[in-house]
Amino acid sequence: MRRTGALVLAGGASTRLGEPKQLVKIGTENLLERSVRVAAEAACSPIIVVLGASAELIQKESDLRGTQVVLNEGWAEGIASSIRAGVADLRDVEGS
């Protein structure tokens, strides 16, 4: 069976915005939930969500059912560290 994984990078601190961008609401869902929903609608499996800054708050405020959450302790190093953390959990997929 062919599988295509999705890697949702949500580890940044959103310092310019002043609040976690992942939690900004669009209608009834936040940006992170929207990204997860779109990946699910595209039949991606697995859906890996990489969190870093504000991870505890983001998990508390977001519906991440159906995903695998990866905590990137080195999130302050930049996006490459989040990519490395997430790709390490992508297994048995045809594309990502």
Structural domain boundaries in the chain: 6-87
| Fold exhibited by the domain 6-87 | Spore Coat Polysaccharide Biosynthesis Protein SpsA; Chain A (3.90.550)
Residue 95, pLDDT score: 56
Residue 1, pLDDT score: 60
Residue 96, pLDDT score: 45
- Measured CA to CA in angstroms, residue 10 lies from 1, 2, 90, 91, 92 at distances of 28, 26, 16, 20, 23
- Please report, in tens digits, the pLDDT of each residue of the chain (96 residues total): 668 999 999 999 888 888 899 999 999 999 999 999 999 999 999 999 999 999 999 999 999 999 999 999 999 999 999 999 999 888 767 654
For the chain, the first-to-last Cα distance in angstroms comes to 15
**In the structure encoding, which two tokens stand for residue 96, read together?**
């990502």
